Amino acid sequence: SQKIEQNSEALNIQEGKTATLTCNYTNYSPAYLQWYRQDPGRGPVFLLLIRENEKEKRKERLKVTFDTTLKQSLFHITASQPADSATYLCALDIADSWGKLQFGAGTQVVVTP
């Protein structure tokens, strides 16, 4: 079955630095990979999607890379701000299904001033 691994330890980072999160997966070749942000008591909010034939995608201060050989995606928050503090989830599409996603456990990011 598909497995998704994200670093379970919280990432503590100083404001202005770049936060880098890792998402590793096994036993599957997803057509696309997504990153979501989740704040306490809220549902996840979509941030970025990257397809299997894309190496990198950017949105404002966010950058996602996708290495299908390593089966890994990296998520970068540049010039981090305290407002970026949240849990970040990666998600893969589930094979042979429409709209179903499998999520990683998420990595908490704490940005301190």
Partner 1 sequence: SAVISQKPSRDICQRGTSLTIQCQVDSQVTMMFWYRQQPGQSLTLIATANQGSEATYESGFVIDKFPISRPNLTFSTLTVSNMSPEDSSIYLCSVDSRLAGGSTDTQYFGPGTRLTVL
Positions in the binding site for partner 1 (CB under 8 A): 4, 32, 34, 41-46, 49, 89, 91, 93-94, 98-106
Question: Least distance to partner 1 from the beta carbon of 103, Å?
Answer: 4
Q: According to the 3-state scheme, what is the secondary structure of the chain?
A: CCEEEECCCCEEEECCCCEEEEEEEECCCCCEEEEEEECCCCCCEEEEEEECCCCEEEECCEEEEEECCCCEEEEEECCCCHHHCEEEEEEEECCCCCCCEEECCCEEEEEEC
Give the residue with the Cβ less far from partner 1, 79 or 105: 105
Question: Least distance to partner 1 from the beta carbon of 99, Å?
Answer: 3
Question: Least distance to partner 1 from the beta carbon of 26, Å?
Answer: 15
Give the residue with the Cβ less far from partner 1, 37 or 71: 37
Cα distance between residue 88 and residue 4, in whole Å: 13
Question: Least distance to partner 1 from the beta carbon of 35, Å?
Answer: 10
Give the residue with the Cβ less far from partner 1, 4 or 111: 4
Give the residue with the Cβ less far from partner 1, 74 or 94: 94
